[in-house]
Amino acid sequence: MSNAWNPDSWRNHEALQQPNWPDQNALKTTFDNLSSYPPLVFAGEVRSLQRRLADVAQGKAFLLQGGDCAESFQQFRADSIRDKLKVLLQMAVILTYGLEKPVVKVGRIAGQFAKPRSSDTETKGSKTLPSFRGESVNAPDFTAAARIPDPDRLERAYFQSASTLNLLRAFTSGGFANLQEIHNWNQDFVRNSPQGQRYAQLAGQLSDAMRFMDIIGINPSTAPVLKEIEYFTSHEALILEYEQALTRVDSTTNDHYNCSAHLLWIGERTRQPDGAHVEFLRGVKNPLGCKIGPTATADDIITLCDRLNPDNEAGRLTLITRFGADKIADNLPKLIRGVEKEGRSVVWSCDPMHGNTFSSTSGLKTRDISNILGEIKQFFEIHQAEGTWPGGVHFELTGDNVTECVGGSHEVKEEHLPNRYETTCDPRLNAQQSLDICFMIAEVLSKQK
């Protein structure tokens, strides 16, 4: 395998999960347009994220990553962006307090449009059509016309990402994310949650800490750090035409950065060491994630580390494990031991969503909070037993009050799923369920201390 990398070198490798674009000229036009548009993020921000993730790799911080499974062109509204940010910030405060560590906040947002699919086709009744591959490729409607890949959608995804990011930047620097506010939102949650009493003590301790800081003069007006939030974006780097078109050379270092998001990850279906996705991403300087499912061996992980992080830089590579509550105990320890034996620096993050999906009796895809929590608890226990740092968690969530996952303190049951089932791909936690999970993580951790 040739070691020379350039932004085009992925084209010499097999690229799985790429759309069958019917009009190559239209694709070329889109590629040229995207290549000429302004970057969405800049290299200095990307380097900051890598430094934060280096702290996570060294056990000094914790990573919280979350957002939609797939962003939607239809559900593109300011309040939905705001509420997604709000819930992630609320979760971060609970985790910061529970873990006694800074939490690095990364949204699955402003670019999370393309989806890998297990099957190329979808059948309903007697009709079989190409699968929906995310809004940046085709439309979710079940008609032949909707499912034709259209490169104009890549441009629409770019503009929606730019607009989303603009609002996120305004919120995170303009005072909306003031720590006192976030704490007040959490108190509301504790008051209104059926299981709120369980969390009252933790919330009370947080209030005491905030009051104490205020007394000694640390509040949002004296300490800007309390109202300015560092928030990063991420998505699965799936459609390589899009990812390449948004890759730029940083003028200060001459390195290539993928300026479509701060962090890019490789999905479980496209992590072949010789595949096009690994080839493309090894050449960009952004911190990278890689999903790791139950088929991965310790040798596979070391090969991926060799390809994606040959210099063994802390914070460069996050392994996002997604085994399922019933498989993590068999899989994670041997991978941790393999990585430790070779002295590789990685961030270990737990995606408790993708190994715990099942079909409800109504046929809707769902996930049960008890399995999600079960996988997270084992993730923490296994890392404690191995003497390694459980670096982070990765969720599919929304701030909207959807009914897509079952369980949680408001007890969403299988029969409630059709009430508000709005995801265009996988089932997400709603705001209540997301906060429940964080309070439960904080509870588990305070017992471990």
Which residues of this protein are in contact with Co ion, per CB under 5 A?
69, 426
The residue among 17 and 50 lying less far from ligand PEP, judged by its C-beta, is 17
The residue among 81 and 320 lying less far from Co ion, judged by its C-beta, is 320
The residue among 98 and 427 lying less far from ligand PEP, judged by its C-beta, is 427
Q: Phi and psi of 88, rounded to 5°?
A: -65, -40
The least distance separating ligand PEP from the CB of residue 377, rounded to whole angstroms, comes to 20
Partner in contact with 322, chosen from ligand PEP, Co ion, none, beta carbon below 5 to 8 Å by kind: ligand PEP
The least distance separating Co ion from the CB of residue 180, rounded to whole angstroms, comes to 34
Cβ atoms of 287 and 278 within 8 Å: the answer is: no
The least distance separating Co ion from the CB of residue 261, rounded to whole angstroms, comes to 16
Pairing of strands 365-367, 357-359: antiparallel
The residue among 179 and 296 lying less far from ligand PEP, judged by its C-beta, is 296
- For residue 135 the two structure tokens come to 């809004």
Amino acid at 98: G
Which 8-state DSSP code applies to residue 39? P
The residue among 81 and 237 lying less far from ligand PEP, judged by its C-beta, is 237
Partner in contact with 268, chosen from ligand PEP, Co ion, none, beta carbon below 5 to 8 Å by kind: ligand PEP
Cα 416 from Cα 38, distance rounded (Å): 44
The least distance separating ligand PEP from the CB of residue 269, rounded to whole angstroms, comes to 6
The residue among 130 and 134 lying less far from ligand PEP, judged by its C-beta, is 134
The residue among 151 and 293 lying less far from ligand PEP, judged by its C-beta, is 293
- Residue 378: partners with Cβ closer than 8 Å, 6 or more residues away: 325, 328, 329, 332
Partner in contact with 267, chosen from Co ion, ligand PEP, none, beta carbon below 5 to 8 Å by kind: ligand PEP
Partner in contact with 291, chosen from ligand PEP, Co ion, none, beta carbon below 5 to 8 Å by kind: ligand PEP
Which residues form the interface with ligand PEP (CB under 6 A)? 69, 116, 267-269, 291, 322, 354, 426
The least distance separating ligand PEP from the CB of residue 340, rounded to whole angstroms, comes to 23
Pairing of strands 256-258, 365-367: unpaired
CA atoms within 13 A on the CB side of 130: 18
The residue among 282 and 291 lying less far from ligand PEP, judged by its C-beta, is 291
Partner in contact with 271, chosen from Co ion, ligand PEP, none, beta carbon below 5 to 8 Å by kind: none
Partner in contact with 116, chosen from ligand PEP, Co ion, none, beta carbon below 5 to 8 Å by kind: ligand PEP
Cα 299 from Cα 292, distance rounded (Å): 12
Report the chain's C-alpha Rg in angstroms: 21
Partner in contact with 408, chosen from Co ion, ligand PEP, none, beta carbon below 5 to 8 Å by kind: none
The residue among 278 and 429 lying less far from Co ion, judged by its C-beta, is 429
Chain-centroid distance of CA 306 in Å reads 23
Residue 169: count other Cβ atoms within 10 Å of its Cβ: 12
Cα 216 from Cα 126, distance rounded (Å): 70
The least distance separating ligand PEP from the CB of residue 82, rounded to whole angstroms, comes to 22
Cβ atoms of 374 and 401 within 8 Å: the answer is: no
The least distance separating ligand PEP from the CB of residue 283, rounded to whole angstroms, comes to 21
Find, among 73, 242, 76, the residue nearest to 156 by Cα. Answer: 73
Residue 306: count other Cβ atoms within 10 Å of its Cβ: 14
Cβ atoms of 69 and 426 within 8 Å: the answer is: yes
Cβ atoms of 185 and 60 within 8 Å: the answer is: no
In angstroms, what CA-CA distances link 246 with 28, 31, 242, 371, 385? 14, 9, 6, 38, 42
Which 8-state DSSP code applies to residue 429? B
Q: Which residue is nearest to ligand PEP (CB)?
A: 267
The least distance separating ligand PEP from the CB of residue 395, rounded to whole angstroms, comes to 10
Partner in contact with 183, chosen from ligand PEP, Co ion, none, beta carbon below 5 to 8 Å by kind: none
The residue among 69 and 182 lying less far from Co ion, judged by its C-beta, is 69
The least distance separating Co ion from the CB of residue 233, rounded to whole angstroms, comes to 17
The least distance separating ligand PEP from the CB of residue 239, rounded to whole angstroms, comes to 13
Cβ atoms of 114 and 133 within 8 Å: the answer is: yes
